[in-house]
Each structure stands twice: as C-alpha cells, then as structure tokens.
C-alpha cells in the first residue's frame, strides 16, 4: 500500500518545480552552476537551467574516470549475430570517444554542427554519439531499419556536416548493406555532407567513394589526437531525433543538454531503481529514444554499466537470449518492449529457456514503447517472478511521463496501467470540449505546462510546427497524441494514439510516409493506410488503394502484381520495419465532403469497434462497401 512518499514527491515537483529540479541538478557536474532553474518567460518555450554550462560527455565519462570508475565496465557489447562479446571500461570508452571527437574536430565539426549517425547496434555508434556531445556538436541518429527515402528526408532537415555510418548491419537471417542505402539517400537529398566516416564490418565491407573515410584508418592511434570537452550552455542542443508524425515529414525532436542530463540522472534511482555500479540492459536500438536515453545517456551519466545488445529476443539463437545476457553480465534492470516479450512467449510459453539461466541479479523488468497488454504483463510476471513495470513515454519527452516509481515507493500494479505521472508531469484528461474529464472517462491525455526538464524545448528549425502540433489544441497544455483515462485511484491508462501515428512492434511509424510510398506507384489514384490490432506486433499497417482509371482492376493477375509491387515499394522507400504486408485494392475510400479520408472511422471498423461516422461523410455507400473488407482483418 502507498506510504505517501510518491504523492509527496509528485506534489512538490508540481508546486515547486524550481526547488525540485534545482535539487536534482546537484547530481550533475556543471562548469558554471545555474543560478536560474526555469525560465518561463516565453511559453510554451520553457528553458531549464538557462545560465548553466556543462558538457554532457564529461558527465557521462570523464567524471567517472576521475572519480574512481576508470576500470569499471561502462559498456558490454554483446552481439550474438556476429558472435562477438567485448567489454569497454570507462577509461577505454573515454579514450575512444575523445579520439573520435578528435577525428570529427579534424573534419571541421565544431559546436552546433550536426552529425548524422546511421549505424547498427555497434559500440562505435555510442562512441560517435558521445564524441559529438564532447564537441558540443548535435548528433542525429537514424534507425538502421529506415530506407533511403526516410534517411534522405532526415539528411535534408538536419543538414549534417559529417555522416557516420557502417558498411552493414547484421539481422538474424541476412546482412543488410547500409552503404548503398546511404549513397542512395545522399543522391536523393539536396544537402550533401562533406564527409562520410564508414565503419567497415567484415560481414560486408563497402566500397568507399570520394567523400568516404575509413573509421579504422582515422582512429589509428597515430592519426587521432584526442579532443577535450567543449563547454556548452545548458540550453544548447545535444541531439535531434526524428520521429514520425502524421504527415510524411518527420519531426526533428530537439533535446537540450542540461535539462536532459538532470532529468535522466534523476530517473535512474527513482524509476529504474539503479545506483552507480549497477547494470542496465536496455534491449532497444540506439536509433530510438529509448536507446538514446537508457542504452546510452542515463546509465553512463549515473556510472552504471550498460549492455549494448546486437540481437533479437528470439532467433539469436533462441528465446533464452535475454536470460543469457542477464546471467552473463549480472543485469539488474532489463528494459524492452512488450512485443519482445510476446515474441519470447510465442516461442517458449513455458519459459523453459529461462530455467536454464541464473537470473538472480535481475531485480526489475521495464516495458515501454507500446501498450503493455494485461496478458503479456501477467505472463512476464509469472515466469520471471519479478516486478514488471510499464512505463509510458515518447520521443518528445525523452523519459517516462508515467511509471511506477520503484526507487521512491513501489506502488501496487494495475495491469494495463503505466501507474502514475512522474515528477513534473501534471497529467490531465480533457474531453472534446477541452474540459477536464472525470475518473474513468476517456479523453485526450495532456500535460499542463511547464513540462519538466529533458522534454523537447522545440522542433529543430521549426518553432511554428512545435506550437501548432503540440500546444495549439489546448492552450497551456502539451497534447501527447495519446488517448486514455485516469481511474479513481489516480492510475493512468493509455489506450493508444488519437492521431494517425502507427506503432508497429514498438516502432513509431508515420501513415503519411507509407501512404507516400503507395501513392508513388504509377497505377495508384489514391490510398489510405491505417493501423490494425495485431496480437504479436501490437499493431500492423494495412493499405487500401484505389487504382487509376484505365487499369484493369478486374484482372486477378494485374491486382496481384500491383499488390506485390506496392508491398515492395514500402519496404524500399520506408524500410523493412514498416512491415506492410496487406494491401487491398478497393473501389473508393470514405471521405468527408471536404475530401478528408476517414481513417479513424476505418480504424475503428477494422478493430471491431462500433465506428463513429461523422455527419459530414460524403457517401455512406462507399463506407458500407468497404466495411466487410475492413472487418476481414487477417491478423
């Protein structure tokens, strides 16, 4: 039962944010200590610790080496797909990072310059991120599963001076060559980087072109002189991380330096129950926000050991992979997505692999990235006998909005709920009229401003979209884009996106990007993509296309060819992670009289719900014809 520690802390964080976060800032080493905690003079553009100066890389590496952790493992690289295991101490990780920062500096990278990182789960990706932080340069990591078009859009927006990449990634059943994707993306983008640094991997070395440089050559001890930490303002950007909106144009979530460091450091003991010296295994990817925060920055800022795992929950080689990693490194906290547990459950429902491993070091399991369904929660809890903590957050926030604050007070768990708002988050549910909804009433989940430190201060180069996309709907509140309710005990339940953003196997994807790929097919007149429930990946995209007049839509072989081409197009343009397998050719799409496709209504029908059909529907007959197709959800 609650002893009130959480309630007291949460109340204080809202009543006195400056006192609360000013205190939390003590755990970060500042070059110039901030005298102001929060500048709230220009809402919704809040600035945390505006006059503080620091270096995030110093806080993640140097200070631990100076403070006695030089020989402690900072990072265990575990790669079942390549058969590699390697441990880097804090001293070794610092040495590599300082040298790669020297390499970037010698390539002309200075404070504020962007460096795009397109890499698989290799230690060099972490080194590149931290090297940018060391120079005050802004990294932008792009997930390796994205195809050239998505990469090109990010290159054009971030305009990086240098791109750091690898020759290939290694997936369980195939080697994915990154270099041709990179070359194609640069060919498509208007902005051209000055240099590409390429890590050659033996599984598929790449041919290097004129602007390409070889990682190993540059990093040769005789070639690379280490760079020192460059002081930055707390409000200076640490990174840009692109995430999917509803349109095809990705949003460049900007992260500041000081606020992020303070917030992440606070979460490690409070939310993840971890102290310096503990071991965290976050089985995500450095290309996602979960990877930025809990593979790289938070564990290292805390002096923990992080595990960088290049593999999958199953198939590398089996469903015991996570338990093997826990045993090998004495992992204390395991963090992954519910879909990974569903994968393990599917292969090994009786957890026989788990019995083969000693997981006694494991204290707590954390799941995030998508809704944790009660079945998966119960299974994970039963087989591991560990607390399974659902935590809800977004690329925008950088750290959990809601969780069970195990380090403050472990609250009773309600399956299906990520428990309660974390420090600094004043979460409310608003109905369509903008009124606060009562307990158990579903509505839009919003956070009253200001948001706590570490959350995005704006979108890169796009203050306008920041305001219109997140703060215009309900002035004074941040619109999360998720819907849900708060129950009579103050527990939050997050039920899913209220917009058209997809969540496939914990990967956030844009309907707009997938639609753009479909619409680019010469036979397609118009199309719509919606997310439909899937028992394994949580959600799967489904495409509906109307063919141009003149295409013989009655000919089965023509239809089959077009569908196969469309599936391939999405894979080639957006990436394999989009996992679009089902496309239906239909006669028409339901629209409002002003021409807006009724995706929400389609989603509701496909999910087996009673749809809310707007009175402005143009032609009810089109929807009636489509309904059986939508109901025939193959998953």
Residues that bind ligand COA (CB under 6 A): 120, 144-145, 169, 171, 176, 284-285, 288, 290, 312-313, 336-337, 339-340, 343, 368-369, 505-507, 576-577, 579
Choosing among ligand AMP, ligand COA, none, which partner's interface includes residue 120 (Cβ < 5 to 8 Å by kind)? Answer: ligand COA
Q: For the CB of residue 184, give the shortest distance to ligand COA in the complex, in Å.
A: 14
| Residue 322 tokens, joined | 């996570």
What residues are paired with 524 via a beta bridge? 547
Nearer to ligand AMP, 97 or 394 (CB): 394
Exactly one of 224, 289, 362, 514 binds ligand AMP (CB under 6 A); which one?
Answer: 289
CA angle 54, 60, 65 (to 5 degrees): 105
Q: How far is the CB of 389 from ligand AMP (least distance, A)?
A: 10
Which range touches ligand AMP (CB under 6 A), out of 67-75, 367-375, 471-479, 572-580? 367-375
Please tell me whether residue 145 binds ligand AMP under the rule CB under 6 A: no
Establish if 359 lies at the interface with ligand AMP (CB under 6 A): no
Based on the shown chain and the rule CB under 6 A, indicate whether residue 391 belongs to the binding site for ligand AMP: yes
505 binds, among ligand AMP, ligand COA, none (CB under 5 to 8 A by kind): ligand COA
Of 224 and 372, the one with the shorter C-beta distance to ligand AMP is 372
- In angstroms, give the least distance from the CB of 394 to ligand AMP: 4
**Spatial separation of the C-alpha atoms in residues 51 and 454, rounded to whole Å:** 16
Q: What CA–CA distance (Å, rounded) separates 325 from 632?
A: 40
Look up residue 315 and give its two tokens.
Answer: 């198939």
Q: Tell me if 531 contacts ligand AMP by CB under 6 A.
A: no
Count the site residues for ligand AMP by CB under 6 A.
21
* 339 near ligand AMP, rule: CB under 6 A: no
DSSP 8-class letter at 434: S
The CA distance from 389 to 571, in Å, is 33
**CA-CA distances (angstroms) from residue 591 to 228, 528, 627?**
58, 11, 14
Other C-beta atoms lying within 10 Å of the C-beta of residue 265: 22
Burial (CB count <10 Å: 0-12, 13-18, 19+), residue 572: middle
The structure tokens listed for 155 are 């290159």
Handedness of CA 114, 120, 124, 126 (dihedral sign): positive
Q: How far is the CB of 242 from ligand COA (least distance, A)?
A: 15
Cα–Cα dist 102/421, whole Å:
41
Tell me the sheet residues that pair with 445: 429
**Cα 595 vs. chain centroid, distance in angstroms?**
33
CA distance 414 to 419: 7
**From the CB of 337, what's the least distance to ligand COA, in Å?**
4
Contact call for residues 161 and 109 (beta carbons, < 8 A): yes
Name the residue with the smallest CB distance to ligand COA: 369
For residue 517, what is the enclosing H or E element? helix 511-519
Q: Which residue has the tokens 């158990």?
A: 440
Among 229, 368, 578, 585, binds ligand AMP (CB under 6 A): 368
Given the complex with ligand AMP, which of 123 and 338 has the nearer CB atom? 338
Residue 453 CB, shortest distance to ligand AMP, in Å, is: 18
Candidates 370, 373, 409, 534; binder of ligand AMP (CB under 6 A) is 370
By CB under 6 A, name the one of 89, 234, 246, 395 that touches ligand AMP: 395
What does the block give as tokens for 107?
Answer: 């390539």
Q: Does 482 bind ligand AMP (CB under 6 A)?
A: yes
| Residue 372 touches which of ligand COA, ligand AMP, none (Cβ within 5-8 Å per kind) | ligand AMP
Residue 398 or 424 having the CB closest to ligand AMP: 398
CB of 279 to ligand AMP, least distance (A): 23
Contacts (Cβ under 8 Å, ≥6 apart) of 430: 436, 437, 443, 444, 446, 474, 477
Collect contacts of 212-220 with beta carbons under 8 A, ≥24 apart. Answer: 213/107, 215/124, 215/164, 218/103, 219/96, 219/99, 219/100, 219/103
Q: Does 124 bind ligand AMP (CB under 6 A)?
A: no
Interaction between residue 508 and ligand AMP (CB under 6 A): yes
Site for ligand AMP in 230-249 (CB under 6 A): 243
Residue 296 interacts, among ligand AMP, ligand COA, none and using kind-specific CB cut-offs from 5 to 8 Å, with none
| Residues binding ligand AMP (CB under 6 A) | 243, 288-289, 368-372, 390-395, 418, 481-482, 494, 497, 503, 508
């Amino acid at each position: 039962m609650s002893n009130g520690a959480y309630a007291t802390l949460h109340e204080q964080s809202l009543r006195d944010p400056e006192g609360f976060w000013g205190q939390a800032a003590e755990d970060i080493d500042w070059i110039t200590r901030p005298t102001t905690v929060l500048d709230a003079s220009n809402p919704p553009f809040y600035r945390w610790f505006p006059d503080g100066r620091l270096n995030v890389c110093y806080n993640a590496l140097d200070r631990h080496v100076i403070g006695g952790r030089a020989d402690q493992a900072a990072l265990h690289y575990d790669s079942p797909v390549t058969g590699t295991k390697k441990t880097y101490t804090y001293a070794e990780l610092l040495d590599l990072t300082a040298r790669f920062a020297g390499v970037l500096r010698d390539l002309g990278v200075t404070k504020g310059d962007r460096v795009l990182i397109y890499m698989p789960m290799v230690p060099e990706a972490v080194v590149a991120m931290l090297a940018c932080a060391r120079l005050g340069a802004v990294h932008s990591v792009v997930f390796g599963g994205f195809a050239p078009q998505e990469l090109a859009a990010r290159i054009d927006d971030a305009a990086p001076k240098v791109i750091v990449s690898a020759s290939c990634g290694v997936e369980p059943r195939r080697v994915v060559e990154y270099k041709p994707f990179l070359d194609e993306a640069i060919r498509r983008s208007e902005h051209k980087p000055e240099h590409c640094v390429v890590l050659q991997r033996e599984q598929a070395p790449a041919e290097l072109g004129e602007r390409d440089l070889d990682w190993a050559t540059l990093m040769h001890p005789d070639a690379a002189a280490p760079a020192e930490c460059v002081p930055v303002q707390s409000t200076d950007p640490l990174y840009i991380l692109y995430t999917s909106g509803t349109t095809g144009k990705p949003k460049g979530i900007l992260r500041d330096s000081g606020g992020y460091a303070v917030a992440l450091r606070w979460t490690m003991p409070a939310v993840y129950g971890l102290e310096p010296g503990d071991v965290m295994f976050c089985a995500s990817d450095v290309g996602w926000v979960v990877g930025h925060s809990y593979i790289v920055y938070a564990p290292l800022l805390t002096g923990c050991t992080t595990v960088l795992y290049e593999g999958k929950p199953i198939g590398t080689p089996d469903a015991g992979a996570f338990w093997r990693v826990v045993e090998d490194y004495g992992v204390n906290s395991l963090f992954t997505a519910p879909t990974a547990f569903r994968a393990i459950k599917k292969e090994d429902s009786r957890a026989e692999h788990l019995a083969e491993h000693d997981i006694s070091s494991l204290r707590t399991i954390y799941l995030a990235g998508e809704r944790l369904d009660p079945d998966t929660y119960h299974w994970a809890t039963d087989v591991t006998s560990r607390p399974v903590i659902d935590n809800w957050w977004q690329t925008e926030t950088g750290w959990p909005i809601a969780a069970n604050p195990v380090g403050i007070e472990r609250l009773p768990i309600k399956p299906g709920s990520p428990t309660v708002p974390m420090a600094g988050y004043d979460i409310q549910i608003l109905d369509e009229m903008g009124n606060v909804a009562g307990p158990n009433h579903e509505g839009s989940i919003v956070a009253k401003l200001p948001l706590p430190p570490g959350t995005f201060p704006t979108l890169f180069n796009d203050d306008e979209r920041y305001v219109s996309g997140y703060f215009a709907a309900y002035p004074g509140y941040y619109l999360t884009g998720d819907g849900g309710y708060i129950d009579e005990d103050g527990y939050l339940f997050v039920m899913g996106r209220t917009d058209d953003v997809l969540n496939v196997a914990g990967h956030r994807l844009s309907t707009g990007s997938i639609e753009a790929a479909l619409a680019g097919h010469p036979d397609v007149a118009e199309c719509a993509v919606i997310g439909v429930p899937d028992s394994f990946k949580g959600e799967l995209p489904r495409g509906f296309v109307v063919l141009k007049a003149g295409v013989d839509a009655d000919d089965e072989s023509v239809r089959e060819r077009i569908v196969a081409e469309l599936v391939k197009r999405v894979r080639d343009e957006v990436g394999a992670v989009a996992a679009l397998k089902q496309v239906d050719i239909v006669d028409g799409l339901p629209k409002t009289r002003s021409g807006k496709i009724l995706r929400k209504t389609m989603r509701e029908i496909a999910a087996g719900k009673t749809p809310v059909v707007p009175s402005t529907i143009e032609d009810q007959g089109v929807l009636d014809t489509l309904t059986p197709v939508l109901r025939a959800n193959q998953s």
